[in-house]
Amino acid sequence: MIWAFAAAVWVTVTVGVYLAMSRDALRVVLGLAVLGSGANLVLFAAGRVGAVQPAVVPLGDAGLAADAANPLP
C-alpha cells in the first residue's frame, strides 16, 4: 500500500513540476494546483497508511481524553 502512495506522490509532483515550468500561464496555474495536491498526498502518506488503529480515539475508549483539544464546540 505504501508503494501505491509513493507512486501517486511521485507522479503528482512530477506532473505538477512539468506543468509549472511551462511558459503558458494556464499550465503554470494547473501545475501549481497539482503540486498542492501532491503536498496533500505527502502529508497523508507521512501519517499511518493502514486503518488498524483509530486516528484520534484509542481502541476501547468511548471518546476523547479529558485533556485533548476538540476542534468542534
Select the more confidently predicted residue: 39 or 67.
39
Residue 29 located in a structural domain: yes
Q: How many domains does the chain have?
A: 1
**pLDDT at 54 > cutoff 90:** no
Residue 73 located in a structural domain: no
Q: State which residues form the domain around 42.
A: 2-46
Residue 63 located in a structural domain: no
- pLDDT of amino acid 72: 65
Select the more confidently predicted residue: 70 or 8.
8
Query: CA-CA distances (angstroms) from residue 51 to 19, 40, 47, 48, 73?
Result: 34, 18, 11, 8, 26
Residue 70 located in a structural domain: no
Mean model confidence pLDDT for the chain: 81
